Amino acid sequence: MNTFADGLFIIFSDYELIYNLHRNIYYQTFCGFFTIQTTKIISRHTLVKFRGKIGPEGSELIFKSTLTIAKKIGLLKENVEKVITDTTAIEKT
């Protein structure tokens, strides 16, 4: 996945991401596909395994990289102090 797709990975639950990726051309374009994908792109189970392998530290690294790139290309101000994210896909403690 490209960096923008990594951002989707952080924002959405596994189900929401895969459901929309298979059905929404804008998601596909956002994730780097140049043509409409009509066949299965990825299984939700694969994404669950991936999240399990990278763990919280890997998710945090992807999130920080996404913020760095968003700042670099002007989508986020350099001096931003707080970022609000949807945490439905993050395990609550």
Grouped pLDDT means (10 residues each) for the chain, 93 residues = 50 78 83 84 83 86 84 83 62 52
58, 21, 11, 70: which is closest to 43 by C-alpha? 21
**60 within domain boundaries:** yes
**50 within domain boundaries:** yes
**44 within domain boundaries:** yes
Q: Give me the domain span that covers residue 58.
A: 3-72
Its pTM stands at: 0.54
Provide the number of structural domains found in the chain.
1
The per-residue pLDDT for 60 is 84
Q: Give kind and range of the element (H or E) at residue 71.
A: helix 44-72
The per-residue pLDDT for 63 is 80
The per-residue pLDDT for 7 is 52
**59 within domain boundaries:** yes
The per-residue pLDDT for 1 is 44
**66 within domain boundaries:** yes
**87 within domain boundaries:** no
**84 within domain boundaries:** no
The per-residue pLDDT for 86 is 58
Instruction: Calculate Rg over the CA atoms of the chain.
Output: 14
**93 within domain boundaries:** no
